[in-house]
A and B are shown apart, each in its own frame.
Chain A
């Protein structure tokens, strides 16, 4: 019976439509996070340098390792010097070192003070400075400028943490209750001084969570398209009297509910495998062992999981939300007499879920999560997912249990 119900749900035409819509959705909302991650040569350099750091030093940067890391800056600058000396445009301006290039670049920026011929000259210098800059972030130079900037940035950030310690966190940015909560978190996770030494670039958590947020929107949409019409069809084609008068009786609703949940599970898994798999091709796996709370300005997180575990938790949240939505759709489908009535109910549900999904998962479990900012309850993201699941479960239970004593009025 379960198989029969599953066959009703997994209609080839609907699957084709989902595949087509999925392709467009991916292109519109998800592909950017893969094709343009990291976003630009400087972010690419930050990613590459951080990945090297993880490879060499592990998931944290201890003091002695930091000193070694700092020392690498001079070798990078020397490398840059070599590239600059090989560049004809740099030679034209007599630039022979990275330091001279930086000075030239700074001076060339300010072209507004000139007029007439001087202005033309200034514009030429500016344009040439841009060309040299492009050269120094190209594949030809292995993005040397990007790498230097990345190393300098990480050194700067590390110094800020080293000098200010954990006090940086209480810089008057949290409300009174936030302070209390964060004080608890400090004691539990960050009490030890080295907790901030974790390596995890900001862009990774931002991009991953944003991607997962939009992916959850797609998961909800595809689930709605797949499962919403099934029970409505039964009602419209007068199949219900046959079902409810059979040996299974009203218990067929349980089977239909199970089929819907199984379909949601399968569809969510397929979506995660396909789109999650695509995302993982961008190299974030390198950071799976790294902790979420990092000196690289990742933000203040409520939990100190590894990045990999955090990704798994986001996936679990996706499942919870999808199951919850599946339950809600099951209830609405049971109580809709036709497709239009069903769509008029499902569309608002989808809109709410879409808004919730993006806000829930972007920077999930971080202070700057949008929902947390409004409600100030730590781990609200997990709670919100739980609430969605609870609502879905409750409504499904009503849809399954209530008809046991209900007349079937056609």
Chain B
């Protein structure tokens, strides 16, 4: 029976024409982002070809074999950027990064201790990266920075933002549609009664995930078709050609575990599912709290603004411990997407903090929704356009 109700609630959500139009617009927008930034695609194809022929791990063998390859337009460029490459993770000391942050941002006390502890624990991961020669991954050669940024900084972040927006709006619609159609009296006086909210929650969550999956799969598919990375999908994320700027410091991609491009993309998209669910729950909670779709959206917006405000306040005033604590909120999850599963600069204090943050907020929001649901079960139903 619950399945049937979820099915009906799903039908209501999928019957909103703008839902599909928005998905189409999102895919269109992402396509424009991908297609407008194809500079260097010939070079990327050449690197993919080279990787296919002689492998993607730089070193003396690679230098030799590359030199043996037939002349091509980008061969000399590739040789110039790869010849004599050394493992940058050998003798790499992560504590130096912590020292720099401490002095540059004048971080002291508990915040400094937590930072140091985190970077100390990152050392073992970097040692593993050194052992596997992760930095010697050819990746996309000189275009690595550009391609990786295009994929992770731009595309993935945009996909997640679109998923988040849709999740919030579908949650709000689900909460408010009975008021919209003036069916509240009917629905809540039926046998199912107010417990229909559970079906609504489930249905809007499913819809959010469908939307996210549709946008993500299509957009990534277009990206793959445009760039044709081929064997580069197995290249390492921690290649020395890729650096990330974290709190003003440009460092290598220091992940807690070694990722291939495909593996990292999959991990990001998977964690993205959880983030979309979190935002869905925020939207649903806002809808239940306000009983009005628009005010619910504004409440959600204010919540985001409040998070940003806290980050800025603590950062500007140098309250670094509070700054680190405020990073345990949903919005910074999205902001730090391109640095997920890495050390993440001064903002984080534990390994895989983004995963723990996501889990924490699932729990918090789950409890909040439960409390709101119980409140709703005892609340008078008044008929009004939501």
Q: Could you tell me which A residues sit within 8 Å of B by CB distance?
A: 13-14, 17, 20-21, 23-25, 27-28, 225, 229, 232-233, 236-237, 338-341, 343-345, 347-348, 351
Question: Given A232-B294, A340-B293, 18 other A-B contacts at CB below 8 A?
Answer: A21-B302, A21-B305, A23-B309, A24-B309, A24-B312, A338-B180, A339-B292, A339-B293, A340-B16, A340-B169, A340-B170, A340-B172, A343-B294, A344-B16, A344-B169, A348-B22, A348-B29, A351-B29
Question: Is B298 a contact partner of A345 (Cβ separation < 8 A)?
Answer: no
Q: Closest approach, in angstroms, between the C-beta of A61 and any C-beta of chain B?
A: 37
Q: Closest approach, in angstroms, between the C-beta of B322 and any C-beta of chain A?
A: 16
Interface centre among A14, A17, A20, A344 (most CB of B within 10 A): A344
12 examples of A-B residue contacts, CB within 8 angstroms:
A14-B298, A20-B302, A20-B305, A21-B301, A24-B306, A236-B180, A339-B176, A340-B18, A340-B173, A341-B16, A345-B18, A347-B22
What residues of chain A lie closer than 8 Å to B172, measured between beta carbons? 339-340
Question: Is B165 a contact partner of A347 (Cβ separation < 8 A)?
Answer: yes
Complex Cα gap A237–B385 (Å): 6
Known: A24-B309, A338-B180, A344-B18. A17 touches B301 (CB 8 A): yes
What residues of chain A lie closer than 8 Å to B308, measured between beta carbons? 24, 28
| Chain B 181-230 residues near chain A, CB threshold 8 A | none
Chain B's interface size range is 20 to 34
* Main DSSP-derived SS at the A contact region: helix
What residues of chain B lie closer than 8 Å to A232, measured between beta carbons? 294
What residues of chain B lie closer than 8 Å to A338, measured between beta carbons? 173, 176-177, 180, 293
B233 within 8 A of A: no
Residue of chain B at shortest CB distance from A21: B305
Residue of chain B at shortest CB distance from A13: B295
Find B312's partner among A14, A27, A233, A344 (CB 8 Å cutoff): A27
Question: Is A343 a contact partner of B169 (Cβ separation < 8 A)?
Answer: yes
B67 within 8 A of A: no
Question: Is A343 a contact partner of B305 (Cβ separation < 8 A)?
Answer: no
| Chain B 366-386 residues near chain A, CB threshold 8 A | 385
Complex Cα gap A28–B313 (Å): 10
Residue of chain B at shortest CB distance from A355: B29
Q: Closest approach, in angstroms, between the C-beta of B211 and any C-beta of chain A?
A: 11
Q: Closest approach, in angstroms, between the C-beta of B318 and any C-beta of chain A?
A: 15
What residues of chain A lie closer than 8 Å to B16, measured between beta carbons? 340-341, 344
Question: Is B298 a contact partner of A17 (Cβ separation < 8 A)?
Answer: yes
B340 within 8 A of A: no
B249 within 8 A of A: no
Question: Is A225 a contact partner of B169 (Cβ separation < 8 A)?
Answer: no
| Closest A-B pairs by Cβ, 8 of them | A344-B18, A339-B293, A24-B305, A339-B294, A236-B385, A340-B173, A344-B22, A24-B309
B1 within 8 A of A: no
Question: Is B297 a contact partner of A343 (Cβ separation < 8 A)?
Answer: yes
1/0 contact string of B26-65 vs chain A (CB within 8 Å): 0001000000000000000000000000000000000000
Q: Closest approach, in angstroms, between the C-beta of A375 and any C-beta of chain B?
A: 14
What residues of chain A lie closer than 8 Å to B293, measured between beta carbons? 338-340
Question: Is A344 a contact partner of B294 (Cβ separation < 8 A)?
Answer: no
Find A27's partner among B19, B180, B298, B309 (CB 8 Å cutoff): B309
What residues of chain A lie closer than 8 Å to B305, measured between beta carbons? 20-21, 24-25
Residue of chain A at shortest CB distance from B181: A338
Complex Cα gap A328–B127 (Å): 57
Residue of chain A at shortest CB distance from B161: A351
Question: Is A341 a contact partner of B301 (Cβ separation < 8 A)?
Answer: no
What residues of chain B lie closer than 8 Å to A17, measured between beta carbons? 298, 301-302
B266 within 8 A of A: no
Complex Cα gap A20–B312 (Å): 14
What residues of chain B lie closer than 8 Å to A229, measured between beta carbons? 294
Q: Closest approach, in angstroms, between the C-beta of B5 and any C-beta of chain A?
A: 20
Complex Cα gap A28–B18 (Å): 31
What residues of chain A lie closer than 8 Å to B177, measured between beta carbons? 338
Complex Cα gap A338–B297 (Å): 13
What residues of chain B lie closer than 8 Å to A23, measured between beta carbons? 309
B80 within 8 A of A: no
Q: Closest approach, in angstroms, between the C-beta of B58 and any C-beta of chain A?
A: 25
Interface centre among B18, B297, B306 (most CB of A within 10 A): B18
What residues of chain A lie closer than 8 Å to B104, measured between beta carbons? none
Interface centre among B16, B19, B294 (most CB of A within 10 A): B294
Complex Cα gap A20–B295 (Å): 14
B25 within 8 A of A: yes
Q: Closest approach, in angstroms, between the C-beta of A220 and any C-beta of chain B?
A: 15
Complex Cα gap A338–B170 (Å): 12
Q: Closest approach, in angstroms, between the C-beta of A225 and any C-beta of chain B?
A: 7
Q: Closest approach, in angstroms, between the C-beta of B140 and any C-beta of chain A?
A: 26
Complex Cα gap A237–B165 (Å): 26
B21 within 8 A of A: yes
What residues of chain B lie closer than 8 Å to A347, measured between beta carbons? 22, 165
1/0 contact string of B286-297 vs chain A (CB within 8 Å): 000000111101
Residue of chain A at shortest CB distance from B293: A339
Question: Is B18 a contact partner of A341 (Cβ separation < 8 A)?
Answer: yes
Residue of chain B at shortest CB distance from A235: B385
Residue of chain B at shortest CB distance from A27: B312
Complex Cα gap A13–B297 (Å): 13
Complex Cα gap A23–B176 (Å): 29
Residue of chain B at shortest CB distance from A352: B29
What residues of chain B lie closer than 8 Å to A340, measured between beta carbons? 16, 18, 169-170, 172-173, 176, 293
Question: Is A344 a contact partner of B21 (Cβ separation < 8 A)?
Answer: yes
Residue of chain B at shortest CB distance from A24: B305
Q: Closest approach, in angstroms, between the C-beta of B163 and any C-beta of chain A?
A: 13
Q: Closest approach, in angstroms, between the C-beta of B300 and any C-beta of chain A?
A: 11
